[in-house]
A and B are shown apart, each in its own frame.
Chain A
Amino acid sequence: MNEMILKFPARSENEIFARNAVAAFALPLNPSLSELSDVKTAVSEAVTNCIVHGYRGRDGWITVHCRSEGGRLDVEVVDEGRGIHDLERALQPFFTTLPGEERSGMGFTIMQTFMTDFSVESEEGSGTKVRMSKDFGQKAERNAG
């Protein structure tokens, strides 16, 4: 079992650092290149959501909490921003609250598709917590079988 907590300001320049840090943390679990790419993309989506939707350009902090154990990576991405008004709609593919900004509305769909487990908790005015897990290699194959 290993653990890591990253806390950084909600600025878009930190997205690349956050996804690469989580990927580096996951390396001892021997992920395939494709599994590692999935994790980087899902983390990038979650962190982007904090910046674009949670804080909407205002200052704030993002916390990324990672745990690894037995071929499984758990990642939590937490902000203390405005929260999600209608979570059910936010989870629909192609739904976006910012249609004028070339947003695809695919962020949550990508997190759900690319990770083994996914859940989100949000409270308006308090913030949002995304929980994601990924099973790597043999563990993923065992669960699929």
Chain B
Amino acid sequence: MKLQSSRRGDNLYIYLSGELDEHSVSSLREAADRLIDENAGLSRAVFNLAGLRFMDSTGIGFLIGRYKRLKKYNMGMYLESPEAGTDKILSLSGLYSLMPKI
């Protein structure tokens, strides 16, 4: 798993790439939380999922965890460009009602 980020205006962009599962999630969690903490005060975080080749339900837990952290900072969370497989899991879990797809 790889995580990259950029800041554009009031938005924090987080790009995820690789395969997100139980094995890869712990280092990803730390890296994402560090980024969020460093950028507290921005208005929203956008997770770009285009490079995510695989995600199972571990990814749902990961995204909800980051959503809660962002909420503490009053930051909104959005998802963009999921692949078909990822999109299917996100739709099934109802996650888009918390973090809309843009």
A102 contacts which chain B residues (CB < 8 A)?
A: 29, 61-62, 64-65
Q: Residues of B at under 8 Å CB distance from A?
A: 19, 21-23, 29, 54-58, 60-62, 64-65, 84-85, 88-89, 92-93
Residue of A33, A41, A51 touching B56 (CB-CB under 8 A):
A41
Identify which of residues 1-47 in chain A touch chain B, using a CB-to-CB cut-off of 8 Å: 12-13, 15-16, 19, 33-34, 37-38, 40-41, 44-45
- Cα A34 to Cα B84 in complex, Å, equals 8
* Any B CB within 8 A of the CB of A91: no
Contact A15 B21 (CB under 8 A): yes
* Any B CB within 8 A of the CB of A83: no
Consensus secondary structure, chain B interface: helix
- Cα A102 to Cα B61 in complex, Å, equals 5
Contact A37 B22 (CB under 8 A): no
Which residue of chain A is the closest to B58 with respect to CB atoms? A48
Looking at the assembled complex, report how far the CB atom of B29 sits from the nearest CB atom of chain A, in whole angstroms: 8
